[in-house]
Amino acid sequence: MSVIKLVKSRYKEWKVGKYGLSLLDRYIIGQILPSFLFSVGLFASLGVAVGNLSDLANKIIDSNLPIREALEILLLKVPEFVSYALPVSILLSTLLTYGRFSSDSETIAFRSCGISLYRLVIPALVMSLIVTGITFLFNELVVPAANFRATAILVKSIKAEQNFWQNKDIFYPNYEINTLADGSTERILKSLFYAKEFDGKEMKSLTILTWLKQELREIVISDSASWNPEKNNWDFFNGTQYLLTLPDSSYERTIPFKHKTFSLPKEVFEFASQARDPYEMNIIQASQYLHLLQLGGDEKKVRMFQVRIQQKISFPFVCLIFGLIGATFGSLPQQMGRGTSFGFCVSIVFLYYLLSFLIGSLGLIGVLTPVLAAWIPNLMGLSLGAWLLWRFNG
């Protein structure tokens, strides 16, 4: 019996199924799933090998990173590359599956039974939505913690410098909003906090400048300080407080101390203790840190975190876009072998991430809003997939 006759004979059976999925849906998903799981393992393994092995080998040789710690870092990097592999895998698996349907004339058989291309891609979209949810949860619950732990091992083992970790040279300006006579507002520097080092609990070698009505009124220099959560203030140790007079800011009084409390903002401690790379935070943590950056007035970092937060939200939906494009292109009449599918997959992924990088950069420099910078690539990809589906369904 030919493929077309077989499909026609079983079409009525395929129209009804359990759990809201017809036998046709389960058949197609069952064909996609094995290649999807294989692709996840393949791409994640390649990502870890290419992205980390060489760098870790150099750290073992040049920086004396212990092999045990290097292996732990390698394992901790696996979740990150699994999250990157999920969208690529849904693209490749749909291309392969629907390409096989086309080459074996199953697509022609389905359509001869009155099944449109719209109906044929629904199982791929259902699976893509499931993978989208898995990707989102994985990126929120697993990847940030694993990345943070890997960075912590590098910092502890070889004293690696991290741009986002605030363990050295901590600057934190504290501003207040002043209302002018015409009703407009301006931001005025109230205090400037500097610490040379931070070990997670205690600041070292501090200098604090305090202004009153835009005039410098106080300078505090101290060996160490720590936040006291019970009294909601700062405990400073072994330092000197300099009180200045107005308007020439000359020294009025010098007060040495061994221990003294100061009512400086708690945000200084939170800013230092919560600082991480955006990829080491989930959305809630990144949003909380963004609030601290906004209080500190670092516009460049504020904009960067705003873009990264939106990208964290938008990234999982790439699975849906890739699933739509893969199923549509795979259903084309011409045969698409595994090599062609793999090359086509690499091309789509490269173009998408290049576009995402370029548009994201426009968000980082302020040309686009963070929402547009994160979502324009997705909207363009979804529009392309929808247009291709409409075009090839005819």
pLDDT per position as a tens digit, 251-291: 778 889 899 888 887 777 777 776 777 888 889 888 888 88
pLDDT exceeds cutoff 50 at 24:
yes
DSSP state of 19: G
pLDDT digits (tens, 9 = 90+) for 58-102: 888 888 888 888 899 889 999 999 999 999 999 999 988 888 887
Please measure the distance between the N-terminal and C-terminal CA atoms of the chain and give it in whole angstroms. 28
Mean pLDDT computed over every residue of the chain: 82
Which parts of the chain fold into alpha helices (H)? 3-14, 23-48, 54-62, 67-76, 78-103, 106-112, 117-141, 143-158, 267-274, 283-296, 299-314, 318-330, 338-364, 370-393
pTM for the full predicted model: 0.77
271 by Cβ neighbours in 10 Å (0-12 / 13-18 / 19+) ranks as: buried
Q: Dihedral sign, CA of 203, 207, 212, 214?
A: negative
Ranked by mean pLDDT, which of 288-292, 346-350, 379-383 comes out on top? 379-383
